[in-house]
Amino acid sequence: MTRADDYMLTAEQLRLTRKRRRLIIAFAILLPLVLIIGIIAARQTRDGIESWQARRHAKKAFAFIAQENWTGARAEAIAGYQLRSSEPETVRAIARLLTRTRQPQALEYWDQLAKITPLSRDDLRDDAAIALMVGDLHRAETAVKKLIATNPTPADFLLDAQLASQLGNIDIASADCEKVVSDTRASNREQLQATMLELALNSSAEDSAAIWQRIEKIAQGKDAASLDALILLAQRALSIPPKGGTSSVASADKPDVAASLRDVAHGSQSRGYKQPHDRDVVPPTNFQQLSASLEAHPLAHAPHKLIAFDLLEREDATQREALIQRAVSQFKEGDADDVAALSRWLNAKGEHQRVVDIIPLEHALKSREGFLQYLDALGGLGRWADIKQLLGSERFPLDPFLQSMYLARCSAQLGEKAAEENNWQRATESAGNDPAKLMQVGEFAEKNARSSHKC
């Protein structure tokens, strides 16, 4: 269409004007399209970068999990999940971390992952393991069947053995254990777990002796499984009363042996061992050699080396004081984990005053476990008012239900009936609907009632 002012233009000017107008119109049409495409591309680029960053965090989390560095794994897994909760690797990292730390919530994340992508064989193993732990045998059976159906590995047969054991199918469980221990592909960890499960299922004294010989062979290595095997042998030796009397080692040092066997056989990192039956063939124990092996193990830390001291005390009770002095000298200036382990060891031996004397409160405050052990030492000395003051000052933050539990215990010992009842109520309310916390409150209350009754 010709505008009125166009009549004054020459033909060439008119052509150029019309061309310029067409360019302006085309630009006006194309600009919004370019902007829309740019926004979409920018969003896709941003999403791609976030996904890459999330996968990088997940990769680091998997590396930390392999090292059993749970603090690092937790930080990386959460960072990745917060960046991209729809990224399969970030969901897998959270699920695997929760599985390896034996948290029932892992099942929710395996379900979430299954909606995004098919579970891999490693995923199915973890899903089955956590399902076995919480007693969801139907879910565990579904996962194990998929694993056994195609090219099963020793890890798959081990899971099948654990499932069969819980279902009461002893013959199948034993056969699966034999498949694991006879398979050259099985790792030392898998060999140890199968061996311990086999020992739990076994009823023959002769077979039991052969199984313990297998554990002794595993203990000769230098990896984490060999350290676990050494601890099993040590705790086995400590559980056998010496001739003519009971063990000189404090009874609190001994594990809940039945539960510990289940934990080791089903893949936990517990350092426990089952009480020997009369049918067990128990060979003479070289306490010094076993102690030296524990101390020399490259992966041994304070808790393991303190068990090594227990072995020496078990052999010669007159060395008790010297061994305690040696342990104190070696670990009192260590990191927070060393101090907590030393405190727990001394408390188990009734050396509560020594805990208070050698470990400054500021050092005990460096970790939750160290602080709780310090409180236990004060409790062993009857210093309930001091415990109440420490808890009231909130110098170390505890879960509200834990704080209320300890305050209830203090109030009971101080004769403050109303405060005791109020604190038990707060502890229950703070635990909410968490079964583990509620169980802990109940067990602590029962223990408190027994102690009060004795008093």
For the segment 333-391, what is each residue's pLDDT rounded down to a tens digit?
888 899 999 999 999 999 999 999 998 888 888 888 899 999 999 999 999 999 998 88
Mean of the per-residue pLDDT values for the chain? 83
Which of 192-196, 271-275, 284-288 comes out lowest in average pLDDT?
271-275
* Confidence grade of residue 430 (pLDDT, cut at 50, 70, 90): confident
266, 267, 269, 271 alpha-carbon torsion, rounded to 10°? 40
Instruction: Please answer whether residues 128 and 164 qualify as being in contact, where contact means their C-beta atoms are separated by less than 8 angstroms.
Output: no
Alpha-carbon gap, residue 327 to 336, rounded angstroms: 15
For residues 283-294, give the mean pLDDT.
Answer: 83
pTM comes to 0.73
Give yes or no for residue 418 having a pLDDT over 70. yes
Instruction: Please answer whether residues 154 and 186 qualify as being in contact, where contact means their C-beta atoms are separated by less than 8 angstroms.
Output: yes
Alpha-carbon gap, residue 197 to 158, rounded angstroms: 9
Residue 111, Cβ density class (10 Å: 0-12 exposed, 13-18 middle, ≥19 buried): middle
Alpha-carbon gap, residue 227 to 219, rounded angstroms: 6
Give how far Cα 159 sits from Cα of 163, 198, 290, 380, Å.
Answer: 6, 13, 31, 43
Which element (helix H / strand E) includes 211? helix 205-218
Q: Which amino acid is at 88?
A: P
**What are 163-173's pLDDT values in tens digits?**
999 999 999 99
Q: Which amino acid is at 294?
A: L
**What are 289-348's pLDDT values in tens digits?**
999 999 999 999 999 999 999 999 999 999 999 999 999 999 998 888 999 999 999 999
- pLDDT above 90 covers a percentage of the chain that reads 51
Give how far Cα 384 sits from Cα of 71, 194, 357, 408, Å.
Answer: 33, 46, 17, 11
Alpha-carbon gap, residue 282 to 228, rounded angstroms: 19
* Per-residue pLDDT at 260: 37
DSSP characters over 68-113 = T-HHHHHHHHHHHHHH-TT-HHHHHHHHHHHHHTT-TTHHHHHHHH
Neighbours of 385 (CB within 10 A): 12
Domain ranges of the chain: 48-64+73-116, 391-455
